[in-house]
Amino acid sequence: MTALLEGVTVLDLASVGPAARASRWLADYGATVVKVGPVPAREGVQIVPVFFAYSAHRGMKRALLDLKTPEGRDAFLRLAAGADVVIESFRPGVVDRLGIGYDDVRERNRGIVYCSTTGFGQRGPHAQWAGHDLDYLAVGGFLDCSGRGPDGQPPIPGATVADSAGGGMHAVMAILAALVHRNTGGEGAYLDVSVADGVLALMALQVDEFLATGTTPGPGHGILTGRYACYDTYMAADGKWLALGIIEARFWHNLCDALGLAHWRDHQTDDAVQDKIRAELRTVFATRDRDDWVGELAPADTCVAPVLTVPELIDDEQYIARGAFVSAQHPRHGAFRQVGPVLAGMTPAEGPYEVRDADATDTDELLGAAGLSPEEYVQLHDAGVVA
């Protein structure tokens, strides 16, 4: 199958975070992604991720430019003239000061889709605040609505939900919408992706409830945040955990019947007896190992699943059947496995991915394709502007 974004070229100025996640997914959809980083003389201005992060940048190209020099800026604008998308994650105002902002690129390429991905967006009183995933989950209501420890402390999530969904997938959706608009007769677009806005979108069910009714949501407020025993986690005899994700009454009836708890069939959302139901569920689940329960209950329409550790999930039969994990080969670190292109519509490669070391670049090839002569490239290289 032809990759869905074949023919789309993306310049990614980010090294880590939501923007880097976005370009990773765009590359897995077939886009040609060029990671634009600083020349060695300016190393340290960006975080350098470990070799396996962001799928080891499989299938991506790399150009190293000194964007603080006029020559480096011009080299970038030459690349941008032939690109479809630019992604950047500097603080608001930085790309304009460098001379590589949306207006600068649009002068050379009116069809450009320019995506600025920041924590709080390009405008507003918090636009210049520094932050990371936990901060955006905090201001978006996610932490306050999540389950608490014994002292009421909001939890530290087990994944970077804000960076990935609130930022990275937010950016991908916006970019794809802009490309569709451009390809149906429109021009390019400027996209102001705020990770905090993305978290707010994820929290819309809870926020809309408050706006419409005045009811304050929080942990244990509704069925999806732990109010009822049917939507909770329980320990099995071997110390491993089960997740019950039951909403519909018929699934609850199935579970009650299977566990010999038919007397609770009509009390799924009866607040007066939730502690009693939880106590009986804990007692029953503690009689057998987790995988025994899963083997019996999961196929029986009960919405029961195992809480898998990372070492367990890589051997899970469902993920294996769907080809979720692929092999990669690094010139220094050797062979390793990684999560493959698992999102719908992505096309995994046949055989192992050959990933490159961080010092490998395609700068000369890319600038040559953008119209730079070999003599010009040698001059820029000798001046330390490109590498």
Domain with residue 247: its CATH number is 3.30.1540.10
252 assigned to some structural domain:
yes
> What mean pLDDT comes out for the span 205-223?
95
Measured in whole angstroms, the distance separating CA 348 from the mean position of its chain's CA atoms is 18
Answer whether residue 48 shows pLDDT above 90: no
**Separation between Cα atoms, residue 357 and residue 234, nearest integer Å:** 44
CA-CA-CA-CA torsion sign (300, 301, 307, 309): positive
User: Is residue 330 assigned to a domain?
Assistant: no
Residue 266 tokens, joined:
């009509």
Tell me if 292 is assigned to some domain: yes
Under the banding of pLDDT at 50, 70 and 90, the label for residue 78 is very high
User: Which of 132, 266, 315, 357 is an active site residue?
Assistant: 132
Examine the domain organization and report whether 298 and 354 are in the same domain.
no
pLDDT for res 306: 98
Question: Are 180 and 298 members of one domain?
Answer: no
Spatial distance between the Cα atoms of 12 and 54, rounded to a whole number of angstroms: 13
Within a domain: residue 331? no
Annotation marks residue 263 as catalytic: no
Q: How confident is the model at residue 1 (pLDDT cuts 50, 70, 90)?
A: confident
- Count up the domains in the chain and report the number: 2
At 81-120, the pLDDT tens digits run 999 999 999 999 999 999 999 999 999 999 999 999 999 9
How is residue 348 annotated by DSSP? P
pLDDT reported for residue 358: 84
What value, to the nearest 5°, has the Cα angle with vertex 67 and ends 376 and 372?
Answer: 20
> Would the pLDDT of 41 be above 80?
no
Do residues 179 and 284 share a domain? no
Which of 306, 325, 359 represents a domain boundary (last residue)?
A: 306
12 catalytic residue (yes or no): no
Decide if 218 is inside a domain. no
pLDDT at 144 over 80: yes
What's the order of all strands across the beta sheet hosting 85-88? 61-64, 32-37, 9-12, 85-88, 113-118, 189-194
Average pLDDT value for residue range 187-214: 97
Examine the domain organization and report whether 92 and 162 are in the same domain: yes
Please state whether beta strands 231-235 and 189-194 pair in parallel, antiparallel, or not at all (unpaired): unpaired
**186 and 228 part of one domain:** no
The model's pLDDT over 312-329, given as tens digits with 9 standing for 90+, comes to: 999 999 999 999 999 999
Report the amino acid identity of residue 101: G
What DSSP character marks residue 123? Answer: S
In this structure, the answer to whether residues 188 and 227 fall within a common structural domain is: no
Structure confidence by residue, pLDDT tens digits, 216-264: 999 999 999 999 999 999 999 999 999 999 999 999 999 999 999 999 9
Domain that holds residue 248: 223-235+241-306
Does position 135 have pLDDT exceeding 70, yes or no?
yes
Pair 304, 293: CB distance under 8 Å: yes
Indicate whether 186 and 256 sit together in one domain: no
pLDDT at 293: 98
Instruction: Flag whether the pTM goes above 0.85.
Output: yes
Same domain flag for 287 and 256: yes
Do 278 and 130 have their domain in common? no
CATH number of residue 161's parent domain: 3.40.50.10540
**Residue range 40-69: average pLDDT?**
87
**Residues 41 and 155 placed together within one structural domain of the fold:** yes
Confidence of residue 42 (pLDDT cuts 50, 70, 90): low
Q: Within a 10 A sphere around the Cβ of 373, how many other Cβ atoms?
A: 10
Kindly indicate the confidence band of residue 130, based on its pLDDT and cuts at 50, 70 and 90: very high
Contact 104, 133 (CB under 8 A): no
Query: Do 231 and 191 sit in the same domain of this protein?
Result: no
CA-CA-CA-CA torsion sign (81, 87, 90, 92): positive
**Average pLDDT of the residues of the chain:** 95
Active-site entry in 163, 232, 253, 267? 163
* CA 178 to chain CA mean position, Å: 19
Residue 246 belongs to some domain of the structure: yes
Q: What is the pLDDT of residues 328-344, one digit of tens each?
A: 999 999 999 999 999 99
- Please say if the pLDDT value at position 308 is more than 90: yes
Asked if residue 208 belongs to a domain, the reply is no
| Residue 176 and residue 292 in one domain | no
pLDDT at 230: 98
Task: Confirm whether 2 is domain-assigned.
Answer: no
